[in-house]
Structures are given as structure tokens and as C-alpha cells.
Structure 1
């Protein structure tokens, strides 16, 4: 995740980073600029359409559809950010639950070998969950047309949770913890599995294909028809204006695409590896 000063306002304008949408859209922006300039030349110099031509009234359509496309993009970006923020809350819960689990164990366990076991296994759950969510196969498990060669009985986070519970149950059988303590510690392990399931729900359930495809087509055809109406009033200045409009609309869609999967490898995705390392540090301090 990119670290920055939120109050350093002017540097945002003139700084370009690796994930900046301008770099991604630049080739398409050049093509759209050439296309817009060509339409402007044909209308002004070659076709010489009159001011009362019906083509000029195409801007009425753009005014009506502009409101619709703005609503779609707002909903799209809000939905993507909700997924990103939910992922952040889930990993925040994992951090807190790991601390709580460790604090309870530090007061219950007396032998160093038991403490050493949980000092290693609790951070392992976060580290393995990070790897599990960064696996591309995890995002495809619900796709009907994808045949994955995965042994679903070897779900790695579940295996770690299973070992943790078996160890807790073993401590109970050895009379090192009471039945009430077993129930309390079991709830902490259960919370790990619930967090894993919620993260998988975000990872393997993308925005519906038809919705995402429609927005891209809408933006494309909306921008492609803009030069026909704007050339009457803007002339050759149509090209930079259309390019800027496309940049704004397409950038919103690209930003939504980037943050809708918060567990990927993009620069603005969640630093789950760093969070896992922090859990290891905190658990080590407690136990």
C-alpha cells in the first residue's frame, strides 16, 4: 500500500506513480485524441455541416446520459471501496483476535513448551491466510467454467485452525485448562475461521461480469459520440476536451477495478504481509 502525506496537496497533481491511471490509459488517450481531431476536421473543413444541422443536437443525448453514467460510476466506485474497507476491517479483527487469544493463553498456560507452540502457530495462521488470499486459484473457486486442480481437503488456513483446536483440546484432556477456558479459547479459534471465510467471499466473488462489461461499453460509446456534437462549438479543441473526459471516466473505472480485490498485489491493495508480520511481533511479545 502506498504511503503518503494526506496534507501534501500539490505533490499529488504533478507526481506520477506506478499505479497511476494516466500511464495505463495513455495509449488509448492518444488514439481517442486522433479520432476526435479527425471527426472535428471532417465536420468543420470537409463536410462543412451547417449550424442548424441535426448532428449538432446530439449533445442533448450526452446531457441526458451524463447523469446516468455518473450514477453508475459512483455506485461502481462505492461498491469497490466497500469491498476494500471490509477487507481492512477483517484483517484488523484478525490482528485484535490474535492479540486477545495470546493474552488469554499467557495467563492460562504455565509451561514454556505450550507457550512456544502457540507463539509459532498463531502468527502462522495470518501468514498462511495471506498466501491463501494471494493465490490466484482462490479467486476462481466459484467459476463454473474453470477446472481447478485443487485438493480442497487441504485448505491451508483450515489445517492451521485444526491444529490449534487439537492443541487446545489436548491441554484440556491433560487438565492444564478447565472446561470454561476451553470454551473461551475455542471461540477465538472460531473467529479465525470466520474471518477467513469472509475474506474468501470478497476474493472469489467479483463484481458481476455483465455489470462491469456494461460500464466499459457505456463509457466507450459515450466518448466516441462526443466529437460529433462538440466539434460545432469547439472545433479542433474537441480533441483535448474529449481526451480529458475519457481520462476522468475511465480512471474511475480503473480505480474501482484495482481496489475491488483488496488482497491482490497492486500498490493500493492491503498490506496483508505486513499485518501478518505485526501479528508475529505482537504475539511474540505477549507469549
Structure 2
């Protein structure tokens, strides 16, 4: 995720970072500019259409559809941002739940080996969940413990949650924790699984294909028809105007595409790796 100062206006305007849409759309913008120049040349120089041509009236369509496309893009960006913000709230809950579980283990347990187990496993859940959501390879060496089986389970977060639950049940059988404490700790482990499920719901449920495809086609057709009508008012100045309109509309769609899956490696995705590292620091401070 990109860290920035919202008060530095000029850095936003004149700097182009890796996630800026201008870089991604540069090739398409050049193509749209050439296309607009070709339309302007045909209408003004080759066909020599007069200002009274009916082609000029195509701007009426743009006026009518402009409101529609604005509503679609607003809804698109709001929906994508809701998914991004929900992902951030879910990982905020993971931070709090990890701290709560670490606090309880630090107080309830006396044996150093038992404490060391949870000192490793609680932050390991966040680290593995981060890799799981990014669909990256998860090495067994990450756990630094013999409690986790080396078998290739498909769902590593579940494996860690199961191992922690087995350990808690063993502590209960060994009379190291009471029945009431077992109930409390059970709810903490359950919250981890619920957080994982909520993240997977966002990750595995994209915006419906028909809706996303329609917006892209709408933007494409809208921009391609712009030069035909506005050439009569703008002449060859229609080239930068159409390119700018395309940049604005396409940028909104690109931003929505990027943030609707907040658990990837895009510049504007959630800093889940950093959050996992902070959880590790918090747990190590609490359990010692």
C-alpha cells in the first residue's frame, strides 16, 4: 500500500508512481488520440462536412448518456471501495483478536513451553493467512515448530487453527486450564476462522462479469463516438479533449478493478504483510 501525505498537492499532480493510472493507460491514450485525429481529418479535410451536418447532433446522445455513465462509475467505485474497506476492518479484527488471545495465554499459562507455542502460532496464523489470500507458496519452515504436520494441506490457515485448538484441548485435559477458560479460548480460535472465511468471501466473489464487461464496453463506445460530434466545435482540439475524457473514465474503472480485491500485491492493496508483522511484534511483547 502506498503511504502518502494528503496535504502535499504538488506531489500528487506532478509525480507518477507505479500505481498511477496514467502509466497504465498511456498506450491506450495515444491510440485514442490518433483515432480522434483521424476522425477530425476525415470530417474536416476529406469529407468536408459543414456545421449543418446531422453528424453534429450526435452530441445530444453524449449529453443524455453522460449522466448514465457517471451513475454507473460512481456505483462501481463505491462498490469496490466498500470491499476494500471491509477487508481493512476484517484485518483490524484479526489484530485485536490476536492481541486478546495473546493476553489470555500470557495470563492463563505458567509453563514456558506452552507460552512459546502460542507465541509462535498466533502470529503465524496472520502470516499464513496473508500468503493464503495472495495464493503464494507457504513453506513449512515458516512455522518454526514441529507441532505442524509437513503434509501438504490445501488450507494452511485451517491447519494452524486446528493445531491451536488441539493444544488448548490438551491443556484442558492436563488440567492446566479450567473448563471456563476452555470456553473463552474456544471463542477466540473460532473468531480466527470467521475472519479467514470473511476474507475468502471477498477474494473469491468478484464483481459479476456481465456488469464489469458492460461498463468497459459502455466507456469504449462512448469515447469512440465523441470525436464525430465535437469536431465541429473544437476542430483538431478534439484530440486532447477526447484523450482527457478517456483518461478520466478509464482511470475510474481501473481504480475500481484494483481495489475490489484488496488482498493482492497491487500498489493500493491492503498492507497485509505489514499488519502480520505488527501482530508478531505485539504477541512477542505480550507473551514472554
Paired with 2:153 and 2:8, the residues of 1 have a C-alpha distance of 50
TM-score (norm 1): 0.93
Unaligned 5+ residue runs, structure 1?
Answer: 138-150
The CA distance in 2 between the partners of 1:80 and 1:252, in whole Å, is 11
Cross-structure match for 1:142: none
Structure 1: distance between partners of 2:228 and 2:154: 58
Structure 2, unmatched stretches of 5+, are: 138-150
1:138-177 aligned within 5 A:
154-177=154-177
Q: Which residue of 1 aligns with 2:90?
A: 90
Structure-2 residue corresponding to 1:50: 50
Over aligned residue pairs, what C-alpha RMSD do you find? Answer: 1.4
Counterpart position of 2:228: 228
Distance 1:271 1:125 in 2: 16
Indicate if the aligned counterparts of 2:153 and 2:159 stay in contact, CA closer than 8 A.
Answer: no
Deviations for 1:205-240, whole angstroms, at most 9, x for unmatched residues? Answer: 111111111111100000000000000000000000
Shift of 1:107: 1.1
Deviation at 1:50, TM superposition (A): 2.1
Q: How many pairs does the alignment contain?
A: 274
Instruction: Map 1:1-287 onto structure 2 (within 5 A).
Output: 1-135=1-135, 154-287=154-287
Q: What is the alpha-carbon distance in structure 1 between the residues aligned to residue 168 and residue 161 of structure 2?
A: 11
Mapped partners of 1:274, 1:28: distance in 2: 34
Q: Quick one: distance in 1 between partners of 2:53 and 2:248?
A: 29
Q: Write the distance in 2 (CA, Å) between the matches of 1:221 and 1:133.
A: 35
Alignment-derived partner of residue 146 in structure 1: none
TM-score, normalised to structure 2, is: 0.93
CA distance in structure 2 between the partners assigned to 1:56 and 1:281 by the alignment = 65
After superposing on structure 2, the runs of 4+ consecutive aligned residues of structure 1 that deviate more than 4 Å are none
Whole-Å separation in 2 of the counterparts to 1:10 and 1:155? 46
2-structure distance, mates of 1:215, 1:153? 39
